[in-house]
Chains A and B, each alone.
Chain A
């Protein structure tokens, strides 16, 4: 292959491209300075006032730093414009201005040389606003972005080429090609919402984009793993990552660091997630049914399920949408544990899917993990006798232990904060959820569109959000029950049929739990712990995720049953599945585009830094609305001589000449892990909660010196991280050895 002409030609082109990009990367970045100033008239609102124009720049990603002074927050907006570059040649959303900041710091993407770039300001007329000098700083992100794209393109190209030549010499079976082909088609169709060059707005979109930006900013500030998002809540630092694991968000965050825009990074991540869902669900279902075609059909039903589209595309609940990816692994693991013969050698690997599935769930969405744990407990109770079998128990225990070890890097800080920090999430048990439940009609609905109402507002199905599972799965369930009660499965004495029967019942229970007739309110009244758990669920429709998986398994079983009988009903079922996917999943995807608004976000600053959804992870009592970019506040006789603020850290020089203790409030939200010490004496300075729960450094009487405040992960968090890293390494080595052993066995045969 290496000597083939296309390969050589591609390698030469790639080499030249890489050389060009490396040269561009090592070239120093330029800075452009412009002097000037503009004073806006108080009380006069203006729009797009040109502050600087005629700026000449070559293509690149630039940071715009415009000095300014203002006494109001969010009263003005700075942006760039250029009527001379081609449409889409200049990407930038600008940045708001704040009284506590001295300059803007936002990025713009310029894809064409210009002679007439303008910096413009929109001023609401409130307070004073004066602008100063302008600095435009070139970054090398355009070239890192292009390098990433070239490397990705090369990887795809070489893979295709390698496959082409391999297939020529050792023909790949048609069955394998067919599976790959249809999974690629499903991936493409399910990824369509992310191929519009924009992000469709959903209730949670800004929040999750902030999470991605948080990981990016955390990594850039030197944290790994990222625990507190440094720029979130106006540079106060937010503990989102401690409570809401962001393991998968490192991927879009790295894309952001490499220079991709906010929207592009998000869309690429969602496409990656969709492809992962397609392959994982195919893997799980095809292994359960030992039939590739049924695996592909179940994968299509799952990836294009109403629930998944609702969560990931419509509400843009990225956490829950990501968790959906891992649910099939858990059900596959449970199927193996409870329906395979423990004495068989392959049984010894039954714990692996459970471990991977649970680890994925913990590290994406804890609530889905809780529901999964509930389903697992129900299944274990149903199979209580098997649990007492040593092998079965051991497989379950290994799965649970593996998941715990893989996730311990997240769980330890999570539990640490949950126990020691009085965060707002611990005070939401009063929220009831029963009224947000569905009606039976929701479950029977098929032609969903994005809708405008949640079931909670008493509007029933009228223009409702697609909180359902689609009629096709209900048809599958109905058919399964008919077959079951007509005795069709009686002669099947293997564990598979009995497992599916139980899963069908669990599916029905989960669907009932999503209805508004399920007594969630009464359960909440039983005990404070129950109240807290139920309240944290927020919406009963969360049960539809597992409900969908259970019913897809049931649908797949019907397919498998008819297939094994050689019945024509198999093809009817295949047609029903195809009809379901095209008339429900694809229909919904189209209507999302039709009915949903969209954003084209390029730089993170345009989103602002304040949105924290329900503010679940601030210290109880914090008024998030009153937080903005701020300067330190001194109390007592303390005199502040200098102040420098970084990410999750601040350095200040101060004197306290009085004989009494004074204090300084630093604009950082106080969480466990912050430390302060005097740089000269290395003496520790006490920190306590200040105004609105920011860090208050207590300055001893007679203090004179520099004070450094910073966030440091406790040592036991670090140990937990090492344990997780060792577990991953151990699993990789074991997996590699297992694989080699298998290959050697194959070769021997």
Chain B
């Protein structure tokens, strides 16, 4: 009976996680707010180009200037090609949006399934994989990026990061090294075409971690991704070093004051200034993890998970308005422009919450193995309910408060 339940738990949780994250797509319109205008302009331009036999691999200056696409100015249109074809075929931007969003959410689920299944590969760790997927799919920041900020470039990053993690985990676990190396390079390059800044951050992290841990394949995979993403990097270099896009008046100011206030990292239901918190599910996981450590004296044994937790804490620190981004920008030149291109230190909170899903899933797993059966069942159940309920609340609130833009 128990095995049967376990068998069903996995698909049920995946479907549930996907379903709640698709709630806003049920609206037969595109909601206002965020930078949805930029996506529409990009797709329209791409579609028009397709008709005229022109391929806008990167958005034109007009699109960037008209939509004030500061942070995404260096990002390509590659990932919007599918939406543009849909729009070209149907002439219905809402339909193109809804189908793209369904694919995006499904893609994120697929990436999360592959990633968490790989890092929690043992049969006894399946429970952790389930909760990892759930936490990742219902992460408030991800929902915020997809629907409220409507930053499609960043939403694609959320989709691709688990795929990248999946390939990297494959490399760490050994076996089919060439395949995983190629995959990691390819996915990282694909991530670059979605968001050039995130490419630099993730590639940088890969190299630093690889060198520290003496995993030399990390250099290879990054080199491969750099080669594959060369057009994007060239464009980025033109902006950072040659002031090639001066006419676009891209934001070049400070970002430090746009960082998180400490308390904002822990909000659950509501937030402002584009600073969503970690949400209730992740918060309960963190509390449970601290409880296991402080009260039960049980520490996380996996070195990688410990490392990810430390990295997530560092990201959290970098997302704060107290992190000295101004000092980095004062270095001037490319550094000043690159940091400005991030637009907000909040992107590090995004990375922190995404990264926290991994140790959090492990914590649920450890709780599940507790001898106290009540605890072993109740805590995961509470986390499950918290994730689903808060995601539904978030989706409901934003569909309730956002005016339709295009029907």
Chain A contact residues, CB within 8 Å of chain B: 86-89, 174, 177-178, 181, 185, 189, 192-198, 571, 578, 582, 586-587, 590-591, 593-594
CA distance A582 to B268 in the complex (A): 9
Instruction: For residue A685, give the distance in angstroms from its CB to the closest CB of chain B.
Output: 55
Q: Chain A residues with Cβ under 8 A from B295's Cβ?
A: 174, 177-178, 181
A197 touches B262 (CB 8 A): yes
Chain B contact residues, CB within 8 Å of chain A: 254, 256-257, 261-264, 266-272, 280, 287, 290-291, 294-296, 321-322, 324, 326-327, 374, 378, 382, 386
Q: Tell me which of A198, A578, A591 contacts B382 (CB under 8 A).
A: A578
Q: Known contacts A196-B261, A196-B262: does B322 contact A88 (CB below 8 Å)?
A: yes
A87 touches B257 (CB 8 A): yes
Q: Chain B residues with Cβ under 8 A from A593's Cβ?
A: 263-264, 267, 270-272
CA distance A177 to B257 in the complex (A): 39
Q: Chain B residues with Cβ under 8 A from A590's Cβ?
A: 267-271
A594 touches B272 (CB 8 A): yes
Q: Chain A residues with Cβ under 8 A from B264's Cβ?
A: 196, 593
B261 touches A198 (CB 8 A): yes
B287 touches A192 (CB 8 A): no
Q: Known contacts A181-B291, A195-B261, A196-B262: does B270 contact A86 (CB below 8 Å)?
A: no
CA distance A1 to B393 in the complex (A): 50
Q: Chain A residues with Cβ under 8 A from B290's Cβ?
A: 181
21 A/B residue pairs, CB under 8 Å, sorted by A = A87-B321, A88-B257, A89-B326, A174-B295, A174-B296, A177-B295, A178-B295, A181-B291, A181-B294, A185-B287, A194-B263, A197-B261, A582-B268, A586-B280, A590-B268, A591-B270, A593-B263, A593-B270, A593-B271, A593-B272, A594-B272
Q: Tell me which of B269, B294, B326 contacts A177 (CB under 8 A).
A: B294
CA distance A197 to B273 in the complex (A): 15
CA distance A455 to B378 in the complex (A): 40
Q: For residue B386, which residue of chain A has the nearest CB?
A: A582
CA distance A594 to B272 in the complex (A): 6
CA distance A197 to B262 in the complex (A): 8
CA distance A199 to B386 in the complex (A): 29
A88-B321, A582-B386 known; 14 new pairs, CB 8 Å cut-off, are: A87-B326, A88-B257, A177-B295, A193-B263, A194-B263, A197-B261, A197-B262, A571-B374, A587-B268, A590-B269, A590-B270, A590-B271, A593-B272, A594-B271
Q: Known contacts A87-B326, A177-B294: does B269 contact A587 (CB below 8 Å)?
A: yes
CA distance A586 to B382 in the complex (A): 16
B262 touches A195 (CB 8 A): yes
Q: Chain B residues with Cβ under 8 A from A174's Cβ?
A: 295-296
Mostly, the A contact residues are: helix
Q: Chain A residues with Cβ under 8 A from B262's Cβ?
A: 195-197
B268 touches A586 (CB 8 A): yes
Q: For residue B284, which residue of chain A has the nearest CB?
A: A582
Instruction: For residue A302, give the distance in angstroms from its CB to the closest CB of chain B.
Output: 19
Q: Chain A residues with Cβ under 8 A from B291's Cβ?
A: 178, 181
Instruction: For residue B246, give the distance in angstroms from its CB to the closest CB of chain A.
Output: 22
CA distance A196 to B268 in the complex (A): 15
Q: Known contacts A174-B296, A578-B382: does B269 contact A87 (CB below 8 Å)?
A: no
A582 touches B280 (CB 8 A): yes
CA distance A527 to B259 in the complex (A): 58
Q: Chain B residues with Cβ under 8 A from A591's Cβ?
A: 269-270
B254 touches A87 (CB 8 A): yes
A-B pairs with lowest CB-CB distance, top 5: A195-B263, A86-B326, A87-B256, A594-B270, A590-B269
Q: For residue B385, which residue of chain A has the nearest CB?
A: A579
CA distance A593 to B262 in the complex (A): 13
Q: Chain B residues with Cβ under 8 A from A571's Cβ?
A: 374, 378
Q: For residue A192, which residue of chain B has the nearest CB?
A: B263
Instruction: For residue B269, give the distance in angstroms from its CB to the closest CB of chain A.
Output: 4
Q: Chain B residues with Cβ under 8 A from A181's Cβ?
A: 290-291, 294-295
Instruction: For residue A707, give the distance in angstroms from its CB to the closest CB of chain B.
Output: 52
Q: Chain B residues with Cβ under 8 A from A195's Cβ?
A: 261-263
Instruction: For residue A160, give the distance in angstroms from its CB to the closest CB of chain B.
Output: 11
Q: Chain A residues with Cβ under 8 A from B321's Cβ?
A: 87-88, 197
CA distance A20 to B121 in the complex (A): 54
Instruction: For residue A292, give the distance in angstroms from its CB to the closest CB of chain B.
Output: 13
Instruction: For residue B374, give the distance in angstroms from its CB to the closest CB of chain A.
Output: 7
Q: Chain B residues with Cβ under 8 A from A193's Cβ?
A: 263
A88 touches B256 (CB 8 A): yes
Instruction: For residue B151, give the distance in angstroms from its CB to the closest CB of chain A.
Output: 21
Q: Chain A residues with Cβ under 8 A from B280's Cβ?
A: 582, 586
Q: For residue A185, which residue of chain B has the nearest CB?
A: B287
Q: Chain A residues with Cβ under 8 A from B266's Cβ?
A: 189, 192
Q: For residue A588, which residue of chain B has the nearest CB?
A: B269
Instruction: For residue A235, give the distance in angstroms from its CB to the closest CB of chain B.
Output: 35
Instruction: For residue B286, give the distance in angstroms from its CB to the closest CB of chain A.
Output: 10
Q: Chain A residues with Cβ under 8 A from B324's Cβ?
A: 86
Q: Chain A residues with Cβ under 8 A from B267's Cβ?
A: 192, 590, 593
Q: Chain A residues with Cβ under 8 A from B272's Cβ?
A: 593-594
Q: Chain B residues with Cβ under 8 A from A587's Cβ?
A: 268-269
Q: Chain B residues with Cβ under 8 A from A87's Cβ?
A: 254, 256-257, 321, 326
Residue from A194, A198, A578, A586 having most chain B Cβ neighbours under 10 A: A586
Q: Chain A residues with Cβ under 8 A from B287's Cβ?
A: 185
CA distance A138 to B264 in the complex (A): 35
Q: Known contacts A87-B257, A87-B321: does B294 contact A586 (CB below 8 Å)?
A: no
CA distance A88 to B290 in the complex (A): 32
Q: Chain A residues with Cβ under 8 A from B326's Cβ?
A: 86-87, 89
CA distance A357 to B267 in the complex (A): 33
Instruction: For residue B170, give the distance in angstroms from its CB to the closest CB of chain A.
Output: 37
CA distance A594 to B271 in the complex (A): 6
Instruction: For residue A164, give the distance in angstroms from its CB to the closest CB of chain B.
Output: 11
Q: Chain B residues with Cβ under 8 A from A198's Cβ?
A: 261
Q: For residue A180, which residue of chain B has the nearest CB?
A: B294
CA distance A82 to B125 in the complex (A): 55
Q: For residue B324, which residue of chain A has the nearest CB?
A: A86
CA distance A594 to B267 in the complex (A): 10
Q: Chain A residues with Cβ under 8 A from B327's Cβ?
A: 86
CA distance A172 to B296 in the complex (A): 11
A86 touches B256 (CB 8 A): yes
CA distance A591 to B393 in the complex (A): 14
Instruction: For residue A190, give the distance in angstroms from its CB to the closest CB of chain B.
Output: 11
CA distance A732 to B267 in the complex (A): 42
Q: Chain A residues with Cβ under 8 A from B254's Cβ?
A: 87
Residue from A192, A193, A594 having most chain B Cβ neighbours under 10 A: A192
Q: Chain B residues with Cβ under 8 A from A178's Cβ?
A: 291, 295
CA distance A177 to B292 in the complex (A): 11
CA distance A151 to B50 in the complex (A): 67
Q: For residue A194, which residue of chain B has the nearest CB?
A: B263
Q: Chain A residues with Cβ under 8 A from B269's Cβ?
A: 586-587, 590-591
CA distance A197 to B275 in the complex (A): 15
Q: For residue A595, which residue of chain B has the nearest CB?
A: B270
Q: For residue A587, which residue of chain B has the nearest CB?
A: B269
CA distance A742 to B100 in the complex (A): 72
CA distance A177 to B298 in the complex (A): 14
Q: For residue B265, which residue of chain A has the nearest CB?
A: A195
Instruction: For residue A573, give the distance in angstroms from its CB to the closest CB of chain B.
Output: 14
CA distance A50 to B39 in the complex (A): 44
Q: Chain B residues with Cβ under 8 A from A177's Cβ?
A: 294-295
Instruction: For residue A263, give the distance in angstroms from its CB to the closest CB of chain B.
Output: 12
Q: Chain B residues with Cβ under 8 A from A88's Cβ?
A: 256-257, 321-322
CA distance A593 to B264 in the complex (A): 9
Instruction: For residue B252, give the distance in angstroms from its CB to the closest CB of chain A.
Output: 14
Instruction: For residue A410, give the distance in angstroms from its CB to the closest CB of chain B.
Output: 34
CA distance A666 to B127 in the complex (A): 78
Q: Chain A residues with Cβ under 8 A from B374's Cβ?
A: 571
Q: Chain B residues with Cβ under 8 A from A197's Cβ?
A: 261-262, 321
CA distance A194 to B263 in the complex (A): 8
Q: For residue A178, which residue of chain B has the nearest CB?
A: B295
Instruction: For residue A28, give the distance in angstroms from its CB to the closest CB of chain B.
Output: 31
Residue from B266, B296, B374, B378 having most chain A Cβ neighbours under 10 A: B266
Q: For residue B280, which residue of chain A has the nearest CB?
A: A582
